[in-house]
Chains A and B, each alone.
Chain A
Amino acid sequence: MKRFNGFVIKEFYHIFRDYRTLLILFGMPAVQMMLFGYVLTNEIKDAKIAIYDPSGDVVTRKISDKILSSGYFILERNLNSVDEIDPVFRQGNVKLAVIYEPGFAQKLEKRGKARIQLIGDASDPNTANMLVNYASGIISNYLISMNSEKVPIQIIPEVRMMYNGELKGVYMFVPGLMAMLLMLISALMTSLSITKEKELGTMELLLVSPMEPYQIIIGKVFPYVFLAFLDACIILLLGHLVFGMPIMGSIFLLLLESFLYICMALSLGILISNITNSQQVAMMISLVVLMLPTILLSGFIFPVENMPLIMQVLCHIMPPKYYITIIKSIMLQGNGIEYVWRETLILIGFTAVFLALSIKKFNVRLT
């Protein structure tokens, strides 16, 4: 035990004396949180629009008011002719143009029909789609409130988005970020720190000592369990306090699942360091084989359901996917273990397989 303590203390010296490691450990979660929270957001907020309103009557002004007071849009320009639409899009600020028919209110009154054209800037198709949807939603709402007494029968679908009523991106990126960062810290950092000993030749000395291989490995990994766990807490706290990410379920269960995920990632890191002797290779494997799939194939950014079958199969062997499913279920739906036991078992299975492979691959000698 004393040996083990001495080893862990040494490991902490390494970590705390290398400012780059520290930066990755504690700078990255904060920076990523801010990036995803403020910069890479796909929510609609203050989108700039242009309005062409040749009739300028009560109804069109009322509709424009409704659109602008929704909080999603702000008016960039009032257009004076249809010809201005193209230049205004080309300038790049305006994402949506609202065009009313001339004599809008009159036509509505006489024929019961008037036309509004919504033109979106589809150079960013997702945003354009969303803007158009939001705007038409607002318009039809207005129409319904206007006509409610006159029309005898109508079907009004009332849409409700469960668990994330405001469709906030934060609900998506906090779990994704946790999966990604914990994977990075646990797998990358441990595989680097073990291969570093191999590169420096100190592994030779450790092997020649009476330390058992498992003691060496646990000693090297232990500080990272602790630090990764700390990081998980930081992300949760930031997400909760700064971005209002709810934690509906049990925090204890959430932390327990995170701990399990960290162990899974660490055993993966050990496995990587066992099959390579250089820090560079370990880094490449960690980044290419772990990071990219974590980001792309975990459902973090792209929904798994829309992928081709082969990719979907690939997604199912990505451990982060299960972790993201688990913590979303706990945080957003407030579910207990009875809803996530299957994913939990899968994570335990991954951990066991990686550990078994590592032990099988571990060499009590050089090469």
Chain B
Amino acid sequence: MSVPSVHVQQLTKRFKDTLALDDISFDVGRGELFGFIGPDGAGKTSLFRILTTLLLADAGICTVEGFDVVKDYRQIRKISGYMPGKFSLYQDLTVEENLKFFATIFGTTIRENYDLVKEIYQQIEPFKNRKAGKLSGGMKQKLALSCAMIHKPEVLFLDEPTTGVDAVSRLEFWEMLKRLKASGITILVSTPYMDEASLCDRVALMQSGRIMTISTPQEVISNYPLSLLSVKSGDIYTLLGELREYPGVHSVYAFGQSAHVAYQKNDITPESLHFFLKSKGHKQVEIIETVANIEDCFMELMTSPMKE
């Protein structure tokens, strides 16, 4: 990696009694699609606000394209695009007026950078005379993304762009991000949805203001230290509790219609577990070995004690 597009070193941010960001460090390479995965309150929004020069950190160094977020905030505001977590466009302006307004205040025009937003904007262009407040969730996100990109930013900060958006639109949105990335823009995106992590180049798993791990989604999964069984039964509710009691079980989480049982290799065999569940009166018990997905990894990281 040459000069990083975004460089963060020992960043700390405190709000009164709560530590929003606790000694965070990472680098994002030029043209990388970098994801921050974590539950609400993990510190993602604070981090994005610091990087977009909206908040001041208490300690640490942050640069965006080599510009310091405190000293050179004016330069950063010229080259970055930001899409806040909350839908923040003018609801009483139409789709086109919003886009035009944001183009104007960044000193450009829709026509000049139309190519850049074309793919996204074309999808909402049929509704360009509709007020932004009357758009559906997916369309709002597309408009917000168009507005964040209309000035051809070098770095794009997207704070939970897919929260509250239906599954189809979410997928479409990520498709768009991939195409944007292909044009060389650095993209930092945060999301509470763990399944979206696999779509990033690299992800940082965040919790309580800390980054627990940074790696590619493949690495996150291959570093999973445990073995997994996917267990199904007719009665999923009692199943979870009884699995937790079984000796050798490390953790149990509901995962859709099945339960994921994590254990240290060789502690449990599927056959013995099957026998145990039968004896507890479970019917239609189905146990298969499975590979960890990003969610399993996150659950594991969340419960394991923090590595110092």
Residue of B nearest to A13 (CB): B93
B84 at the interface (CB under 8 A from A): yes
- Contact among B92, B104, B106, B107 with A13 in the assembled complex (CB-CB below 8 Å): B92
Q: Beta-carbon contacts of B89-113 to A below 8 Å, as 1s and 0s?
A: 1111100010011101111000000
A209 at the interface (CB under 8 A from B): yes
* Chain A residues whose CB sits within 8 angstroms of the CB of B73 once the complex forms: 364-365
B105 near A211: Cβ-Cβ < 8 Å: yes
Q: List 7 A-B contacts (CB under 8 A).
A: A6-B104, A14-B92, A14-B93, A202-B88, A204-B82, A208-B52, A209-B77
B141 at the interface (CB under 8 A from A): no
Decide yes or no: A209 and B88 within 8 Å by CB, A6-B101, A10-B93, A365-B56 being known contacts. Answer: no
* Chain B residues whose CB sits within 8 angstroms of the CB of A118 once the complex forms: none
* Chain A residues whose CB sits within 8 angstroms of the CB of B190 once the complex forms: none
A2 near B104: Cβ-Cβ < 8 Å: yes
A366 at the interface (CB under 8 A from B): yes
* Chain A residues whose CB sits within 8 angstroms of the CB of B87 once the complex forms: 201
A195 to chain B, nearest CB (A): 15
The SS class assigned to the A binding surface is: helix
B150 to chain A, nearest CB (A): 11
B146 at the interface (CB under 8 A from A): no
Residue of B nearest to A7 (CB): B105
Chain B residues at the A interface, C-beta cutoff of 8 Å? 49, 52-56, 73-74, 77-78, 80, 82, 84, 86-93, 97, 100-102, 104-107, 147
* Chain A residues whose CB sits within 8 angstroms of the CB of B92 once the complex forms: 13-14, 17-18
B90 near A10: Cβ-Cβ < 8 Å: yes
Q: Roughly how many angstroms separate A18 CA and B90 CA in the complex, as a whole number?
A: 13
Q: Roughly how many angstroms separate A17 CA and B82 CA in the complex, as a whole number?
A: 27
- Contact among A10, A201, A365 with B97 in the assembled complex (CB-CB below 8 Å): A10
A233 at the interface (CB under 8 A from B): no
Q: Roughly how many angstroms separate A7 CA and B86 CA in the complex, as a whole number?
A: 22
A210 near B106: Cβ-Cβ < 8 Å: yes
A45 at the interface (CB under 8 A from B): no
- Contact among B53, B93, B101, B107 with A208 in the assembled complex (CB-CB below 8 Å): B53
* Chain A residues whose CB sits within 8 angstroms of the CB of B86 once the complex forms: 201
Decide yes or no: A210 and B74 within 8 Å by CB, A201-B88, A205-B82, A366-B49 being known contacts. Answer: yes
Decide yes or no: A201 and B90 within 8 Å by CB, A6-B104, A10-B101, A211-B105 being known contacts. Answer: no
Q: Roughly how many angstroms separate A11 CA and B80 CA in the complex, as a whole number?
A: 24
A311 at the interface (CB under 8 A from B): no
A7 near B53: Cβ-Cβ < 8 Å: no
A207 at the interface (CB under 8 A from B): yes
A208 near B105: Cβ-Cβ < 8 Å: no
B54 near A3: Cβ-Cβ < 8 Å: no
A6 near B105: Cβ-Cβ < 8 Å: yes
Decide yes or no: A3 and B88 within 8 Å by CB, A13-B97, A208-B82 being known contacts. Answer: no
Q: Beta-carbon contacts of A200-223 to B below 8 Å, as 1s and 0s?
A: 111011111111000000000000
Q: Roughly how many angstroms separate A364 CA and B70 CA in the complex, as a whole number?
A: 11
* Chain B residues whose CB sits within 8 angstroms of the CB of A211 once the complex forms: 105
A210 to chain B, nearest CB (A): 5
* Chain B residues whose CB sits within 8 angstroms of the CB of A367 once the complex forms: 55
Q: How many A-B residue pairs have CB under 8 A?
A: 77
Interface residues on A, range: 20 to 34
A2 near B55: Cβ-Cβ < 8 Å: no
Query: Besides the contacts A14-B92, A208-B82, what 20 more A-B pairs have beta carbons closer than 8 Å?
Result: A2-B104, A3-B107, A6-B101, A7-B101, A10-B97, A10-B101, A13-B90, A14-B90, A17-B92, A18-B92, A200-B90, A201-B88, A204-B82, A205-B88, A209-B77, A209-B106, A210-B106, A364-B73, A366-B49, A366-B54
* Chain B residues whose CB sits within 8 angstroms of the CB of A13 once the complex forms: 90, 92-93, 97
B107 near A202: Cβ-Cβ < 8 Å: no
* Chain B residues whose CB sits within 8 angstroms of the CB of A200 once the complex forms: 88, 90-91
Q: Beta-carbon contacts of A336-367 to B below 8 Å, as 1s and 0s?
A: 00000000000000000000000000001111
Q: Roughly how many angstroms separate A3 CA and B53 CA in the complex, as a whole number?
A: 21
Chain A residues at the B interface, C-beta cutoff of 8 Å? 2-3, 5-7, 10, 13-14, 17-18, 200-202, 204-211, 364-367
* Chain B residues whose CB sits within 8 angstroms of the CB of A366 once the complex forms: 49, 54-55
Decide yes or no: A207 and B105 within 8 Å by CB, A200-B88, A202-B89 being known contacts. Answer: no
A336 to chain B, nearest CB (A): 44
Residue of A nearest to B104 (CB): A6
Most chain-B Cβ atoms within 10 A of its Cβ — which of A7, A201, A202, A367?
Answer: A202
B3 to chain A, nearest CB (A): 23
3 closest A-B pairs by beta carbon, nearest first, are A6-B104, A201-B88, A366-B54
Residue of A nearest to B80 (CB): A208
A211 to chain B, nearest CB (A): 5
* Chain A residues whose CB sits within 8 angstroms of the CB of B55 once the complex forms: 365-367
Q: Roughly how many angstroms separate A210 CA and B105 CA in the complex, as a whole number?
A: 7
Q: Roughly how many angstroms separate A200 CA and B132 CA in the complex, as a whole number?
A: 13
* Chain A residues whose CB sits within 8 angstroms of the CB of B82 once the complex forms: 204-205, 208
A208 near B104: Cβ-Cβ < 8 Å: no
* Chain A residues whose CB sits within 8 angstroms of the CB of B53 once the complex forms: 207-208, 365
B77 near A208: Cβ-Cβ < 8 Å: yes
Decide yes or no: A207 and B101 within 8 Å by CB, A13-B93, A202-B89, A366-B49 being known contacts. Answer: no
A169 to chain B, nearest CB (A): 41
Q: Roughly how many angstroms separate A208 CA and B102 CA in the complex, as a whole number?
A: 11
B73 to chain A, nearest CB (A): 7
* Chain A residues whose CB sits within 8 angstroms of the CB of B90 once the complex forms: 10, 13-14, 200, 202
B137 to chain A, nearest CB (A): 16
* Chain B residues whose CB sits within 8 angstroms of the CB of A205 once the complex forms: 82, 84, 88-89, 102, 147
Q: Roughly how many angstroms separate A366 CA and B55 CA in the complex, as a whole number?
A: 6
Q: Roughly how many angstroms separate A364 CA and B53 CA in the complex, as a whole number?
A: 9
Decide yes or no: A2 and B56 within 8 Å by CB, A201-B84, A208-B77 being known contacts. Answer: no
B105 near A206: Cβ-Cβ < 8 Å: yes
Q: Roughly how many angstroms separate A202 CA and B82 CA in the complex, as a whole number?
A: 11
Q: Roughly how many angstroms separate A367 CA and B46 CA in the complex, as a whole number?
A: 13
A194 to chain B, nearest CB (A): 14
Residue of A nearest to B89 (CB): A202
Most chain-A Cβ atoms within 10 A of its Cβ — which of B74, B80, B93, B105?
Answer: B105
